[in-house]
């Protein structure tokens, strides 16, 4: 049975996209409950200046808490080398640095052009290597940009190669703006893998902004992708990509993967119960997903037992 890693990004991508700051103890309950449901990797926050994202001000404390959970891989987002050092100091298992394929988005999001970002990647990679943390680069806006429009695939391939040369240990393709379609996913995954090697491109970070999220997951599966980011309740988006809200719903993704006979290691019934923690901590905040309302199919347990 093929194992697929579902990486929960809600505590970072989800919470940075809403105005309210979630209580620290509620965040801890959320992470502990997801880990107990079988989620093996959680992005617990990001090491950005608190004045820019006060929702992420407690990330170091979240890392310390999550590191005490057996079997959980604790990762965080870092915007630059300074963030990488803070992540290492906090004790993360891994970190991901976003590298926007749209230069317009890169300047808006991290205030650096592509050449400057390659320098940051190189410096952050060295810090991660010295600190014993896994270092991944997320190729953001790889499928299109709400600020710039279409992003040339040749450019994505070229920048992917530069990221690897600068020290990335792993790459992910990110549909930051919810522009991707299944044919595009298949095509771009093949092209990037051909350029950097199959083992280097393992992850897709997809949004469901236009309802194509799970269709794009299937396209990624067909091309050998083994890790998919998702957010509980579909919380999340990019504050610098207008209209790009809507991460893939973790509950729906797990239902689909388990039903397809793939191994996620996640107990869907337990995962569905985690939603109540977020609802209680963020009353009135919209949460999404079909599975929490409809429930699993009557023959769900037979499907996952195949």
Q: Where are the beta strands (DSSP E) in the chain?
A: 5-8, 41-46, 73-77, 94-100, 134-140, 170-174, 201-205, 227-230
Our CA dihedral for 181, 250, 262, 67, rounded to 10 degrees, sits at 120
CB 10 within 8 A of CB 269: no
145 catalytic? Reply is no
Query: In 3D, which of 194, 190, 192, 184 has the Cα closest to residue 163?
Result: 192
Pairwise CA distance, residues 59 & 247, whole Å: 20
Label the pairing between strands 170-174 and 73-77: unpaired
DSSP for residue 77: E
The pair of three-digit structure tokens given for residue 194, joined into one six-digit string: 């051909």
Give the count of beta carbons closer than 10 Å to the beta carbon of residue 29.
17
Of the residues 140, 160, 180, 238, which is catalytic? 238
Cβ–Cβ < 8 Å for 190, 224: no
DSSP state of 199: G
Residues belonging to the active site: 238
């Amino acid at each position: 049975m093929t194992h697929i890693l579902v990486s929960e990004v809600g505590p970072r991508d989800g919470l940075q996209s809403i105005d309210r700051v979630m209580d620290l103890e509620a965040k801890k309950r959320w992470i502990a409950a997801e880990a107990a449901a079988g989620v093996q990797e959680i992005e617990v926050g990001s090491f950005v200046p608190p004045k820019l994202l006060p929702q992420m001000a407690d990330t170091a404390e979240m890392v310390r808490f999550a590191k005490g959970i057996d079997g959980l891989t604790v990762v965080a987002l870092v915007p630059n080398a300074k963030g990488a050092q803070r992540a290492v100091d906090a004790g993360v298992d891994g970190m991901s640095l976003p590298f926007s394929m749209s230069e317009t988005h890169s300047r808006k999001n991290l205030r650096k052009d592509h050449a400057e970002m390659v320098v940051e990647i190189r410096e952050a990679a060295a810090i991660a290597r010295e600190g014993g943390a896994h270092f991944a680069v997320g190729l953001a806006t790889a499928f299109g940009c709400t600020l710039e429009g279409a992003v040339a695939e040749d450019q994505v391939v070229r920048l992917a190669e530069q990221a690897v040369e600068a020290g990335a240990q792993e790459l992910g393709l990110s549909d930051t703006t919810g522009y991707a379609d299944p044919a595009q996913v298949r095509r771009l995954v093949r092209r990037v893998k051909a350029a950097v090697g199959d083992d280097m491109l393992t992850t897709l970070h997809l949004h469901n902004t236009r309802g194509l999220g799970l269709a794009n997951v299937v396209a990624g599966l067909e091309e050998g992708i083994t890790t998919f980011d998702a957010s509980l309740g579909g919380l999340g988006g990019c504050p610098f990509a207008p209209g790009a809200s809507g991460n893939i719903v973790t509950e729906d993704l797990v239902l689909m993967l388990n039903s397809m006979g793939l191994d996620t290691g996640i107990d869907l019934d337990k995962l569905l119960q985690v939603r109540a923690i977020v609802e209680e901590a963020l009353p009135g905040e919209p949460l999404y997903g079909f599975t929490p309302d409809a429930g699993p199919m009557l023959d769900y347990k037979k499907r996952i037992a195949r």
